[in-house]
Structure 1
């Protein structure tokens, strides 16, 4: 995940191998573990591919937002920006 750290710039956040599935990523985003997510890229090194899944994740977040009482501002901004592009 590419995260915007403001004045410090943008950087790719590392994740442990067990925490990189879609369900865990959605949970971590909703738990506000990323301050300003910008882009999400999926990698499959075994098959030799990578792809930008930013819009896919944003769309899934948009659908599940109704299930949460409180949605972090970072998620709201990420969804709005991703779906605008």
Structure 2
């Protein structure tokens, strides 16, 4: 009979979801940006993106080690940035325009108004 080995997890239970941004530094290359553990939540990442903390964001990835999953959330983040800019009646900041265009392209259709 084969004996299985079990190693307890060193990951604490109830870990929050972490969000990391891949940033493009031009000729220097691209990298996952370093961030404080307390500042890796979704709201902080969105605020940092909008404030210009990232040069040219490539993608945003979320992961939760205690739940054993990861996901590219770039589309969701881009749509949220577009939504916030729309609510504030502002254009998307220039440093985020390429990111938003890639992941949350605007609907180019023009809707006609019905005259009643």
Shorter-chain-normalised TM-score: which range? 0.7 to 0.9
**How many pairs align?**
84
- Alignment of 1:72 with 2:97, yes or no, is no
Extract unaligned runs of 5+ from structure 1. Answer: none
- Alignment of 1:21 with 2:21, yes or no, is no
Q: Between 19-28 and 66-75, report the one with greater CA deviation.
A: 66-75
List, as ranges, runs of 4+ consecutive aligned residues in structure 1 with deviation greater than 2 Å: 68-72
Q: CA RMSD in A?
A: 1.6
Query: Residues 29, 2 of structure 1: CA spacing in aligned structure 2 closer, same or farther, 3 A cutoff?
Result: same
Output the TM-score relative to the length of structure 1.
0.88
Structure showing greater relative contact order (alpha-carbon pairs closer than 8 Å, 6 or more residues apart): 1
Extract unaligned runs of 5+ from structure 2. Answer: 1-20, 106-116
For the pair shown, the structure with the greater C-alpha radius of gyration is: 2
Match of 2:6 in 1: none
Output the TM-score relative to the length of structure 2.
0.66
Match of 2:4 in 1: none
